[in-house]
Amino acid sequence: MHILHVVGARPNFMKAAPVLRALSAYPKVHQTLVHTGQHYDASMSDVFFRQLELPRPDCNLGVGSGTHAQQTAAVMQAFEPVVLERKPDLVLVYGDVNSTLAAALVSAKLGVRIGHVEAGLRSRDRSMPEEINRLVTDQLSDLLFTPSPDGDENLLSEGIHHSKIHLVGNVMIDTLLRLLPQTNANLPESVSTPYALVTLHRPSNVDDLPWLRDLLDTLSHLSSQLSVIFPVHPRTRQRLDDLGLELSRHERLHLLEPLPYLEFIGLQRCAAMVITDSGGIQEETTFLGVPCLTVRKNTERPITISLGTNQLVGRDLKKLCAAAEEILRRNLSSASQRKSLPLWDGSAAERIARIIVRCSTD
């Protein structure tokens, strides 16, 4: 059986690594790894391959940046010849990035079976490009691997047959559990504890320049109470340059280059809180027991709110400040916050591999 994995952005790498490893235990499974190049910066891609011990991609499509339409079309054009040449039995796609949708569309049109890892997540917000990617990919997929029961419910309500849906747990937690012992919080020079860790990259936050200016003012205000560490995504860095802000004058607001996976997890596990708009970080902080304030109006990962440590603060900066101050006041440790979530046990990839092999012989 030939399985072709498609990755394009950092969250895909963390999900694909344990699945590749789990499938390698089956001698009759041949695997091909295709990197679309959606994240093309070495700090955003190459170092993740090294730290996650991912094999070198068999193909790198090198599509780079562009609008959503341009990037999706570029992946489709470059990916189709790969599928025609390699003739996989199953194409595995991950998450909700443009590469996910593009690979699913090509595979469906060529009659190749599709497996979607992290299926069924829904924000109910179609202004998010990721939501469109999720909806279409799930309709095209033959095997839908869900991380939590709400994913199953969403898919069933959209008319997908129950036989295609497989609740397997969260593969990102597989990677987190395996590599957590290798992490430590190497604080930047002059940073003291406690500290908040910040990540922002979604267009709704960083492309709205007046809002971004107000958000940075809020982070500067918070930095009077605790250090703020902000590894800046390239997209966000460009918007900060557009604003022309003098951020260096805020001594406890530390803007860094993007961090490799191990370094970021090390900072995340010891943070007093994380302020983010990332879906994956909502999951990681939930598992680690770290308070998370999500700067979005909705989330496709409601389990991080109902069973985890996540709070939605939307675009209400007063609410963000109040929630941050409450976390500092309560001073909860991550150990006291950590909760056990169903199937977030480090074995999701093994469950996926067993299902794939079983379905190939049915």
Of the candidates 280, 333, 287, the one whose C-alpha atom is nearest the C-alpha of residue 308 is: 287
| Residue ranges in the chain assigned as alpha helix (H) | 10-23, 46-51, 68-86, 98-109, 129-140, 149-157, 171-179, 203-206, 209-222, 234-243, 261-270, 279-288, 303-306, 317-330, 334-337, 348-361
- Residue 145 backbone dihedrals phi, psi, to 5 degrees: -100, 110
Distance from C-alpha of 320 to C-alpha of 342, rounded to nearest angstrom: 29
Query: What size, in residues, is the chain?
Result: 362
Distance from C-alpha of 9 to C-alpha of 12, rounded to nearest angstrom: 5
Of the candidates 102, 85, 80, 84, the one whose C-alpha atom is nearest the C-alpha of residue 93 is: 102
Beta bridge partners of 227: 195
- Active site annotation includes 201: yes
Per annotation, catalytic residue among 201, 221, 233, 254: 201
Q: In what order do the strands lie in the sheet with 227-231?
A: 253-256, 227-231, 195-199, 273-276, 292-294, 310-312
Catalytic residues: 201
